[in-house]
A = this chain, B = another copy of it.
């Protein structure tokens, strides 16, 4: 849930006041990509605010697509399949009907027959403000952030940095930014076949997300920068590696697996037609994480190195 210290403060406060009952209802406690209830229902929620989560380059259909995909990606990260969605939508007056029609089309295309069971709509005196609640079901144990073991291989799906390239207006990568396509068949397959020890989705970039996974698992990581699957079109950028690990928004999966499953994962990649790349390995928690010869640049985040 939290992405920055302000968000951490909000959730620490809310969960403290909500009391111990909140955590005891959950099979997977707060802090993973989605909550898992005792009865196996998996729940995620994403707020999506105009000017924060999207800019003027997004059509209504792009916004709808992306909002749905961000939530679907959270379920994918847990190994769950979606079962229903709810939508809150606050829009300025007068209502822009053509934006609504466009949004609805992109949203429903991305949801691909996942039923929309309800929600709420109201006016907004400011920006468009949306929130989706998406529920899923597991057919196996959920994939969590906590299980990475020393010696595990570290894998990513797809390419890293495609969304960054789109954000910086590289024509071939624009659609990766506006219309992300998370590998939604991959998460459930990984969970059902018991191939992974931990996993999450790459929404904030490898730098931050791998750091979170390692922290949750109490381990460290060594990444081979030459192994990272960067799109060719990104090579025109001044620092493609930084885009690939620091920008985020790719909605690919990051996961760890025993080295003995290497061949099975390669076969799964071919079966699902989802590129999977081994990019490094897990090492013990006492060792600083590394990116080649560099210490892991945790401070890198969306839109480049943090200035504070």
Contacts and interface: CB of A to CB of B under 8 A. Distances in A.
Interface in A35-56: 35, 37, 43-47, 49-53
A47 B10 contact: no
B14 A104 contact: yes
Interface in A90-128: 90-91, 93-95, 97, 100-101, 104-105, 107-108, 111, 113-127
A175 interface: no
A168 to B, nearest CB: 22
Contact of A108 (B1, B9, B19, B25): B19
B119 A45 contact: yes
A120 to B, nearest CB: 5
Nearest to A10: B121
Contact of A120 (B16, B45, B51, B120): B45
A3 B47 CA distance: 22
Contacts of A89: 10, 47
Nearest to A84: B25
Total copies of the chain: 2
Interface string A69-84: 0000000000000001
B122 A14 contact: no
A122 B47 contact: yes
A17 B129 contact: no
Nearest to A92: B126
A146 interface: no
23 contacts: A1-B121, A3-B122, A6-B94, A7-B122, A9-B100, A10-B89, A10-B91, A25-B84, A30-B118, A46-B120, A47-B90, A47-B121, A47-B129, A49-B125, A51-B125, A51-B126, A52-B90, A52-B124, A53-B122, A88-B88, A124-B126, A125-B127, A126-B127
Interface residues of A, number: 71
Nearest to A32: B118
A96 to B, nearest CB: 10
A124 B22 CA distance: 26
A291 interface: no
Contacts of A3: 122
Interface string A138-151: 00000000000000
A43 B117 contact: yes
A216 B259 CA distance: 61
A89 B52 CA distance: 13
A145 B287 CA distance: 63
Given A21-B115, A120-B131, A6 B125 contact: no
